[in-house]
Structure 1
Amino acid sequence: MRFKEGVVVSTKMNKTVKVVIERLKAHPKYKKRYKVSTKLYAHNENPDIKVGDKVTVMEVRPMSKLKRWKVISEKEQRDLTKEKAAAKQGAKVVINLREYTIQYKKRKKKVRKEESAKPAAEAPVPAPEETPPTETPASPPNP
């Protein structure tokens, strides 16, 4: 969820406001900063909002051809950010639990391999039969 703050410049449409968001941007080469403004159409359920009011808008699913934002109150924004933070913490726990499960299965598999290899290693290995060295006939002397 993205939140932006801006100023209402038009309320002429039904349940829609036009919000101008200004930000500073730096020139890529000269690094001079200048203002850039963006106009957004936002869904508005509150009839008390007037031209010139500062509002917070939140990105939502497309509501019409141009409306992709919704005006929200500060309380709604706090609640949404808390929910998002809680969801992130819950996701981290799931990821850690999954990694732990994978590591546990690997350790268990390794222990099973070692246990299955132990009986074969502990069993006495029959010594290879020693054969007495055979005497080879001496070669005749060279004439």
Structure 2
Amino acid sequence: MTMAGRQVSGVVVSEAMQKSRVVELTRSVRHRRYQKVIRRTKRVHVHDPESASHVGDEVRIEECRPLSKTKRWRLIGVTRRTREIEKVTTE
């Protein structure tokens, strides 16, 4: 069904839309001149048809065909949930 594109991991930072999430991708790059390791972040819109992920969850996503004006990524699965961790610590 799917033609697999590149797969990356990220953290969900927004779930304000139906069937969509905003995921922040973080990568480390070395500065060309000063050789210092710099953190670069990018926010991408991800298609999540079952609304399976929530803010703070670590997710795995893959690149796909354009699904809308801004969505080019599809959710594969939730790697780590934060809601379960919060419930355990508050009780």
TM-score normalised by structure 1 residue count: 0.50
Matching residue within 65, 72, 78 for 1:68:
72
- Number of the residue aligned with 1:50: 54
- Number of the residue aligned with 1:38: 42
Distance 1:52 1:14 in 2: 17
Matching residue within 11, 15, 25 for 1:7:
11
Identical-residue share of aligned pairs (%)? 36
Cα RMSD for the two superposed structures: 1.2
Of the two, which has the highest radius of gyration? 1
Higher strand share: 2
Letter in 2 for 1:72: I
Give the Å deviation of 1:47. Answer: 2.2
- Number of the residue aligned with 1:128: none
Higher helix share: 1
- Number of the residue aligned with 1:124: none
Letter in 2 for 1:23: R
Residues paired across the two proteins, number: 74
- Number of the residue aligned with 1:16: 20
Give the Å deviation of 1:33. Answer: 0.4
Q: Which consecutive unaligned segments of at least 5 residues does structure 1 have?
A: 75-143
Distance 1:60 1:41 in 2: 12
Distance 1:23 1:46 in 2: 27
Question: Structure 1 segments of 4 or more deviating over 6 A?
Answer: none
Give the Å deviation of 1:29. Answer: 0.8
Cα deviations across residues 22-46 of structure 1 (Å, max 9, x unaligned)? 1101100111001100000000023
Q: Which has the higher contact order (CA 8 A, sep 6+)?
A: 2
